[in-house]
Structure 1
Amino acid sequence: MSATSAIPVHEGDDELIIVREFRAPRSLVFRAWSDAEMLPRWFCPEGCDLPFQRFDPRVGGTYRVCMRGKESGTEWWVQGEFLEIVPDERIVFTHVWDDVAR
């Protein structure tokens, strides 16, 4: 899965829409974002892992995950809610960082 383009579009103060195109089947890209076993394989930068507190990828479901530095132990927690899911097409979710890295 490699991106062929990335177009960030800022929509007001509270909304960011990012559109990415990948040379991969839609089903694989969708799974990469919605499968708790696949997400940590690509989402984190090198040297970090991604433990989940909860991950429920369905409309109304929520997630809370931590990007954690393997050597430093520094943790960056994020949480949100899945607002729209169209299999193999779209995932819309909120993304709110906790206040301070620990």
Structure 2
Amino acid sequence: MARTDAASQVVPAPPDRVYAALVDPDALTAWLPPEGMTGRIERFDPRPGGSYRMVLTYTDASAAPGKAAADTDVVDARFVDVVPGVRIVQAVDFVSDDPAYAGTMTMTWELTEVDGGTLVEIRADNVPPGISAEDHAAGLASSLANLAGYLRH
């Protein structure tokens, strides 16, 4: 059964600044990795049809083994839809030999201007069954909190 996970948070910045943080590889490596991980971008082309590869490394792999290697998750993403200041839709695949992580997850980032900043809503459709709902919810919330902190500067 296909699963959808979602999270949202108001971040203290206008939609154009939030959007800029979503399409800048240096910004992404600063805020996207959830707590307990670091990130590195191997390629990045933020336009419809473009793609990126991010390597996420666990600071302590004993608590959460990686999907691609013992301490690593590798994400290949394609930009499906890009509407500056409004929405980014990505088709995301995890690099893994484990069939529990197979399949393409669709990540939709919606930005809505609100009092105090921008409501950032993330929806992940077709989440692979190997990703626990609890861990995914914590990861999405952590990334959103990181984004809010990044944009406060």
TM-score under structure 1 normalisation? 0.71
Aligned match of 2:23: 34
Does residue 77 of structure 2 align to residue 80 of structure 1? Answer: yes
Whether the aligned pair in 1 keeps the contact of 2:51 and 2:79 (CA below 8 Å) is: yes
Superposition pairs of residues 81-96 of structure 1, within 5 angstroms:
81-96=78-93
How many equivalent residue pairs?
89
Task: Please provide the CA RMSD for this pair.
Answer: 2.6
Structure 1 residue ranges without an equivalent (≥5): 1-11
Once the two structures are aligned, what percentage of the paired residues are identical?
29
**Distance 1:17-1:56 versus aligned 2 partners, 3 A rule:** farther
Structure 2 residue ranges without an equivalent (≥5): 62-69, 99-153
**More divergent stretch after superposition (20-29 vs 77-86):** 20-29
Q: 2: distance between equivalents of 1:99 and 1:61?
A: 22
TM-score under structure 2 normalisation? 0.50
Q: 2: distance between equivalents of 1:85 and 1:18?
A: 19
Aligned match of 1:22: 10
Whether the aligned pair in 2 keeps the contact of 1:59 and 1:84 (CA below 8 Å) is: yes
Q: 1: distance between equivalents of 2:76 and 2:17?
A: 23
Superposition pairs of residues 59-78 of structure 1, within 5 angstroms:
59-70=48-59, 74-78=71-75
**Distance 1:86-1:68 versus aligned 2 partners, 3 A rule:** same
